[in-house]
A and B are shown apart, each in its own frame.
Chain A
């Protein structure tokens, strides 16, 4: 059965001054950070790349959400998020991504997280605040506030 653990986002999982020459390089950086914070097994990287090529993880408003496929759940050590901000932008199949929210999740707790993120992105002011924030604590707070309807 699935569990409803909400992925953890900590300031150490937020990187605000990233650069990447390509979408692939950006996904690699996302995998690097998930590995550094002890969230995933090194093989999770391949699952993230496979998922990215199966269908873009771009969700709108300059945000992409690189993550692995269902079958890569066993490679997740701790349900976690990482947020990488690319101030110069990364070309994402014709879109420009400024923020990657990298997801490592075993259960369906990430559906609640995605819902919170989607509600931020549907609100242009909050979407801009998320893209422009260079403060890890503030980014963590933005992504955690949305338990209310």
Chain B
């Protein structure tokens, strides 16, 4: 199943934000991939892969996962992308 979300982080998908999301993704019970309009799907649990998307604030991210755990896992990760994690860093 697919879930789209707009990136809320005001400074884009930079290293600290990506590291936090990758760490959360690694704890989920099912693998999730993330892609943008421009870039092919990458695993959500890789910091470097997330950074490679080059997503700016407001970019649409397309999350994809399968299996019985997909709905919960997608919700959890979508919530994180939709949170301005840079605000917490300040």
Chain A residues with CB under 8 Å of chain B are 2, 4, 55, 57, 59-60, 65, 69-71, 108, 110-112, 114-119, 121-122, 149
Contact = CB atoms under 8 A, between A and B. Distances in A.
A71 B90 CA distance: 8
B48 to A, nearest CB: 5
Given A59-B47, A70-B89, A149-B38, A115 B15 contact: no
Contacts of B13: 111
A114 B56 CA distance: 12
18 contacts: A2-B10, A4-B56, A57-B15, A65-B15, A70-B11, A70-B86, A71-B90, A108-B11, A111-B11, A111-B13, A111-B14, A111-B55, A114-B14, A115-B52, A115-B54, A118-B52, A122-B49, A122-B52
Interface residues of B, number: 23
A128 to B, nearest CB: 15
A118 B13 CA distance: 12
Interface in B39-59: 39, 47-49, 51-57
B12 A111 contact: yes
Contacts of B48: 59-60, 118, 121-122
Interface of B: 10-16, 19, 38-39, 47-49, 51-57, 86, 89-90
B39 A149 contact: yes
Contacts of A115: 51-54
A116 B51 CA distance: 9
